[in-house]
Amino acid sequence: MIDTHAHIDADVFDEDREEMIAHAFNNGIEAIIIPAIEPTRYDGVLSICDTHEHIYCGMGVHPHNAHEYSQEVEDRIISLLSLPKVIAVGEIGLDYYYDFAPKEMQKDVFRRQLSIAKSLDLPVIIHNRESDDDMIAILQEEQTGELKGVLHCFSSDLTMLHRALELGFHISFTGNITYKKSVLDEIVRATPLNRIMIETDSPYMTPVPHRGKRNEPSFVQFIAQKIADIYALTVEEIITMTSSNAKSLFRLPLFLIIILMGLTSYPILAQNDANDEDSEEQIEVVEKNPYARFIGFGPSLATNTIVETLTDMDNPDRRDTRSWDGNPAFGFSIAYNPLEFLMLEGGIMHTRNNAKLKNALPVPGTPTDPDVYTVFNVTARAIANPRSKVAFFALGGINFQSKRIHSTNVSFTDDSQLAFNAGAGFMVNIPTSFGMIIPIAEWRLDFESKNDTITLPNEQKYKDWGDIEISTFYSLPRLTILWYPKF
Ligand SMILES: [Zn+2]
Ligand SMILES: [Zn+2]
């Protein structure tokens, strides 16, 4: 979940800002964006961003503060926009409800900041209240192809929605969609899922069931839940869509990998169904470490392709390759996660090489190694997104390979030896009432650490080769099903 609009630099958070932020990140918030509203607050906003990895900000002058805009302020905004944590121009816009600044001044300040965003290719965070006509006129005029951004706290009508969508803008909803008297259901339903974002607008606009209290980023779950109800989708689906929209609009740098995975990733959330708007009961949305304190185990199946490179030891430029495809391999694994993104596995895998040698050495008695081998491995999987339904990982580890090779009348070293494994894959995290079931699909390459050598008797020399050195690797597309029982 990303709270795309939260004024957590506001004074009301001075007493407990750190606890409030920690609470948000412990309750499923991935990132927070603070839109700065006036120059006197810039330093405060930047210091929050500097001290928290996943908090970003926008820089701008809010329409309420339009009279504070000057060339000097504009220069400062432009220089701050080059900082890595400053990812948008905002909060900017028009507000004719409070009318704290003259309309002409608001429009001028808004336009100047839109052109900064266009020249720096940054998204804008737009505030719009009771100013639909002027807002859309300005956006239409300024949209020359490069303008992108979000209309935050969207509360306008369908006509405004359609015009904003046509101009390419994202739409962000906040706590007012949860209010009993809200007429925004229709607007939410009319907003395509690839343009929706969620926000709290903290400390204002507190959603039901906390209405009346101070708003804070962890409450953004209630907006996600309300949108899920309107769309008749799961809250996980709404969170996935809104997060991926925010990541791509604001180009949140740390999340690039997860954007790529966004299409298939759904956070695993525990929740209950209590979402009666009038009840004070909180909808519990808690992201859990899916493997906490668990040990998992289960069988593996693979198809093992053995590839050997033969080198003539008398003439090392002379090489040949031979391979055996598709040997069935089977095994058993035990896994343990000391950290949620690290899965350690101990396993055993057994292969019997029954395949016919494709391009065998044309000599009698040549080993068709390895006939039978058993691998004990210790492998670590580094999981990129362990809390997602589909989680991706890279793996690496050490194997002990025990080989038994059938050969006649040749001298052959067939030491059991160490090998290294490396690979990548994905797993599906399926929570069930009897624990986690985790099917894993991965592709492993195993490299032997030492080469074997063959010494053939003179009359059996391979073509005119001398003694032969063999380096071997194994390619295993592998399926494993782990069960992490509950206990
Ligand atoms: Zn606003
Ligand atoms: Zn705001």
Least confident among 170-184, 291-305, 336-350? 291-305
Residue 98: DSSP 8-state:
T
pLDDT at 259: 35
User: Which ligand is in closest contact with the Cα of 151?
Assistant: 1
Q: How far is the CA of 3 from the centre of ligand 2 (A)?
A: 12
Please state the φ and ψ torsions of residue 438, each to the nearest 5 degrees: -130, 95
pLDDT, mean over the chain: 84
Q: How far is the CA of 201 from the centre of ligand 2 (A)?
A: 5
pLDDT (mean) for 65-79: 96
Q: How far is the CA of 213 from the centre of ligand 1 (A)?
A: 19
Using one digit for the tens of pLDDT, what is the confidence trace for 246-270?
998 998 864 433 333 333 333 433 3
Helix (H, G, I), strand (E, B) or coil at 439: strand
Q: How far is the CA of 166 from the centre of ligand 1 (A)?
A: 22
Reported as a pLDDT band with limits 50, 70 and 90, residue 415 is low
**pLDDT above 90 for 4:** yes
pLDDT at 40: 96
User: Which ligand is in closest contact with the Cα of 155?
Assistant: 1
**pLDDT above 70 for 319:** yes
Residues with CB under 5 A from ligand 2 (ion): 91
Residue 249 Cα to chain centre, angstroms: 15
Q: How far is the CA of 68 from the centre of ligand 2 (A)?
A: 17
**pLDDT above 80 for 72:** yes
Q: How far is the CA of 89 from the centre of ligand 2 (A)?
A: 12
User: Which ligand is in closest contact with the Cα of 126?
Assistant: 1
Radius of gyration of the chain from Cα atoms?
31
Position with higher pLDDT, 390 vs 487: 390
Per the DSSP assignment, residues forming a β-bridge with 306 are 324, 474
Going by C-alpha positions, the residue among 262, 273, 288 that lies closest to residue 229 is 273
Predicted structure pTM score: 0.56
Q: How many CB atoms within 10 Å of residue 276?
A: 11
Position with higher pLDDT, 290 vs 108: 108
Residue 130: DSSP 8-state:
S
What percentage of the chain has pLDDT greater than the value 70? 84
Using one digit for the tens of pLDDT, what is the confidence trace for 19-69?
999 999 999 899 999 999 999 999 999 999 999 999 999 999 999 999 999
Going by C-alpha positions, the residue among 104, 106, 163, 162 that lies closest to residue 129 is 106
Cα distance between residue 462 and residue 363, in whole Å:
6
Position with higher pLDDT, 135 vs 307: 135
In order of start, what are the domains of the chain with their CATH numbers? 2-287 (3.20.20.140), 295-485 (2.40.160.20)
User: Which ligand is in closest contact with the Cα of 5?
Assistant: 2
Cα distance between residue 60 and residue 76, in whole Å:
10
Q: Residue 294, CB half-sphere, CA atoms under 13 Å: how many?
A: 22
User: Which ligand is in closest contact with the Cα of 127?
Assistant: 1
User: Which ligand is in closest contact with the Cα of 153?
Assistant: 1
Reported as a pLDDT band with limits 50, 70 and 90, residue 417 is confident
Q: How many CB atoms within 10 Å of residue 301?
A: 15
Helix (H, G, I), strand (E, B) or coil at 371: coil
pLDDT at 382: 92
Using one digit for the tens of pLDDT, what is the confidence trace for 138-196?
999 999 989 999 999 999 999 999 999 999 999 999 999 999 889 999 999 999 888 99
Position with higher pLDDT, 173 vs 280: 173
pLDDT at 288: 52
Please answer whether residues 322 and 360 qualify as being in contact, where contact means their C-beta atoms are separated by less than 8 angstroms: yes
